[in-house]
Structure 1
Amino acid sequence: MNVELITREDLKQFKNEMLTEMKHLLKPGQGQSKQWLKSYEVRKLLNISPGTLQNLRVNGTLRYTKIGGLLYYKLEDIEKLLEGNAR
């Protein structure tokens, strides 16, 4: 059985790569960048399940706005979440 340890440096590198990728995908220069994302977009961006996204909402980790039956998340809040968790 092979065991691979993940260090804090590995997590910091992953965070930086994730932020770089997010900025690349949502460049302001490519048309109008989205300020608000729908649930499916957040799940795709963070590669998480619907249940994980719900947990982030319920425990107050990720703020959201509900309009009608749709949930919207600020891109800025998602970036702050990623930056804050990789310290």
Structure 2
Amino acid sequence: MNVEIITKEDLKEFKTEMLAEIKQLIKPEEGQAKQWLKSAEVRKLLNISPGTLQNLRINGTLRFTKIGGMMYYKLEDINRLLEGGNK
């Protein structure tokens, strides 16, 4: 039986690599618009308060993804909301 020991340093390295990959997925490509927006960006774009954004989340009008403590919103969902089709 082969046993492999994982050290704290191994876990720190794994964490660093994983965070770098997540940031790369969230970061827009050169010349492309962002696909995902943070709450503050959405509030500014829609000119709404934090409470209004929370209500949009709670009633299902605006879908979101929570990663860690941050909430992200798809730009296409926001555009759909602005166009009046919230499905």
Structure-2-length-normalised TM-score:
0.61
Paired with 2:47 and 2:36, the residues of 1 have a C-alpha distance of 17
Q: RMSD over aligned Cα, in angstroms?
A: 1.8
List runs of 5+ in structure 1 lacking aligned partners.
Answer: 1-29
List runs of 5+ in structure 2 lacking aligned partners.
Answer: 1-29
- State the partner residue of 2:27: none
Paired with 2:84 and 2:46, the residues of 1 have a C-alpha distance of 15
Letter in structure 1 aligned against 2:75: L
Greater Rg over alpha carbons, structure: 2
Q: Deviations over 1:30-76 (max 9, x none)?
A: 82210000000000001100000000000000000000000000000
Letter in structure 2 aligned against 1:55: N
Relative contact order, higher structure (CA 8 A, sep 6+): 1
- State the partner residue of 1:83: 83
Structure-1-length-normalised TM-score:
0.61
> Once the two structures are aligned, what percentage of the paired residues are identical?
82
Partner secondary structure for residue 32 of structure 1: coil
Q: How does 1:59-70 map to 2 (within 5 A)?
A: 59-70=59-70
Q: How does 1:1-87 map to 2 (within 5 A)?
A: 31-84=31-84
Paired with 2:84 and 2:40, the residues of 1 have a C-alpha distance of 22
Partner secondary structure for residue 66 of structure 1: strand
Paired with 2:32 and 2:38, the residues of 1 have a C-alpha distance of 16
